[in-house]
Structure 1
Amino acid sequence: MSTETFETIRYTADVVVITTDDRVLLVQRGWNPHAGQWALPGGHVDPGETSRAAAARELAEETDVYAAPEELTQVGTFDGPDRDPRGRYVTVAYQLTVISTLPAYPGDDAVNVQWWPLSDLPPVAFDHADIIAAATAATV
Structure 2
Amino acid sequence: MSDTREKHAIIRYTADVVAVTDDGRVLLIKRGWAPYENHWALPGGHVDEGETGLQAAVRELEEETGVRVAEDDLRLVGVWDQPDRDPRGRYVTVTYLVTIPADTQAVAGDDARDARWWSLIDLPACLAFDHADILATVLPPTS
- Structure 1 unaligned runs (5+)? none
Q: How does 1:95-106 map to 2 (within 5 A)?
A: 95-106=97-108
Q: How does 1:93-132 map to 2 (within 5 A)?
A: 93-122=95-124, 123-132=126-135
Check conservation: 1:12, 1:42, Cα contact below 8 A.
yes
Deviation per CA, 1:94-128, whole angstroms, max 9, x where unpaired?
00111111000000000001110111110210000
Aligned pair partner of 2:28 in 26, 29, 32:
26
Check conservation: 1:75, 1:134, Cα contact below 8 A.
no
Aligned to 1:56: 58
CA RMSD of aligned residues (A): 0.9
Aligned to 1:17: 19
Per the normalisation by structure 1, the TM-score is: 0.95
Question: 2:10 and 2:44 mapped to 1: Cα distance?
Answer: 19
Alpha-carbon distance, 1:134 to partner: 1.9
Structure with greater Cα Rg: 2
Per the normalisation by structure 2, the TM-score is: 0.93
Alpha-carbon distance, 1:2 to partner: 2.9
Which amino acid letter does the alignment assign opposite residue 116 of structure 1? W
Q: Secondary structure at the match of 2:137?
A: helix
State the aligned residue count.
137
- Structure 2 unaligned runs (5+)? none
Aligned to 1:136: 139
Alpha-carbon distance, 1:68 to partner: 1.0
Alpha-carbon distance, 1:3 to partner: 2.5
